[in-house]
């Protein structure tokens, strides 16, 4: 009889143990998988619906450390599966930071494109030069519309600029000039460091009288270790016109700009 009683007790103990393990497993799973408006949560917290956050959103951290709430203006960026996202600052131009310009993405980085846009404040008179002479800097480019990295310098005697990062830059030069008919004025970006044209356009001046527009619109690779300038040359004396004029009025006409594309 004692032997039978002991066998029954072992079976009962095994039943209790099985029930206990089952209940513990359910409780443990419930603690790690919580669903709101769902009975099958897929993550630690699964919300089937909208989410309202009244205060900060803390990212990262652990059981003893508070996660980061980021700083004003930062954006939340994914770092892929199994890794906490992180707060990131949009890439802005180097100091001084001026938030004026076009937002572009280069290799996944969002930034404000380096940009220089200038107008002339007075005509520029260029002397005649030999065909292979070093071109002359365009003067009086002193009305800076945009110079969001403070890399351009323009004066009554010349101009120069640099870029903060290597990349492809758009170049736009719309130049109104007057010179001798059948000569070939050349305008463009001069690489001061290497002493060569970076990009240029040369066309025959065919206006028998009055003025003619020359337009250079292209893209070129610029290097932050080099210095550049906007220049022009011709075998005859040339005047670059700052303002158009006529019966309908006048306004700035010669316009030059560079802007990073990628």
pLDDT of residue 90: 63
**Which one, of 239, 123, 230, 121, lies nearest residue 177 by Cα?**
239
What residues does each domain of the chain span?
Answer: 2-52, 112-260
pLDDT of residue 250: 79
The pLDDT of residue 6 is 46
Q: Strand, helix or coil at 67?
A: coil
Q: Which pLDDT does position 104 carry in this prediction?
A: 85
Q: CATH number of the domain at 112-260, please?
A: 2.60.120.40
Question: How high is the pLDDT of residue 12?
Answer: 53
**pTM score, whole prediction:** 0.67
Phi, psi dihedrals of residue 3, rounded to the nearest 5°: -65, -45
Burial profile 139-167: b = 16 or more Cβ within 10 angstroms, e = fewer: bbbeeeebbbbebbbbeeebbbbbbeeeb
What distance in Å separates the CA atoms of residue 183 and residue 218, rounded to the nearest whole number? 23
pLDDT in tens, the chain (262 residues): 454 444 455 565 555 555 555 555 554 454 578 889 998 999 888 999 998 999 999 988 888 999 999 988 788 888 889 888 998 876 554 444 556 788 888 887 778 899 999 999 999 999 999 989 999 999 999 999 999 999 999 999 999 999 999 999 999 999 999 999 999 999 999 999 999 999 999 999 998 778 999 999 999 999 999 999 999 999 999 999 999 877 677 789 999 999 999 9
Q: Cα(107)–Cα(155) distance, rounded to whole angstroms?
A: 36
């Amino acid at each position: 009889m004692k032997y039978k009683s002991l066998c029954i007790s072992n079976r009962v103990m095994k039943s209790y143990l099985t029930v206990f393990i089952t209940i513990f497993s359910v409780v443990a799973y419930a603690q790690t998988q919580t669903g709101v408006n769902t009975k099958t949560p897929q993550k630690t917290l699964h919300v089937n619906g909208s989410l309202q956050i009244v205060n900060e959103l803390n990212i990262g951290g652990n059981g003893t450390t508070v996660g980061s709430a980021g700083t004003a203006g930062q954006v939340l960026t994914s770092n892929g599966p199994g890794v906490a996202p992180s707060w990131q600052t949009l890439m802005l131009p180097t100091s001084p930071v001026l938030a004026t310009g076009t937002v572009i993405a280069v290799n996944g980085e969002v930034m404000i494109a380096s940009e220089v846009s200038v107008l002339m404040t007075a005509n520029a008179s260029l002397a005649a030069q030999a065909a292979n002479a070093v071109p002359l800097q365009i003067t009086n480019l002193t009305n800076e519309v945009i110079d969001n990295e403070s890399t351009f310098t323009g004066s009554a005697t010349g101009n120069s600029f640099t870029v903060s990062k290597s990349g492809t830059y758009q170049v736009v030069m719309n130049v109104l000039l007057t010179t001798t008919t059948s000569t070939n004025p050349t305008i463009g970006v001069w690489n001061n460091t290497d002493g060569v044209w970076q990009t240029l356009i040369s066309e025959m001046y065919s206006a028998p009288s009055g003025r003619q527009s020359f337009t250079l619109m292209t893209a070129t690779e610029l290097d932050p270790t080099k210095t550049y300038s906007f220049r022009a040359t011709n075998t005859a004396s040339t005047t670059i016109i700052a303002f158009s004029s006529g019966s309908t009025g006048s306004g700035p006409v010669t316009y030059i700009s560079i802007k990073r594309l990628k």
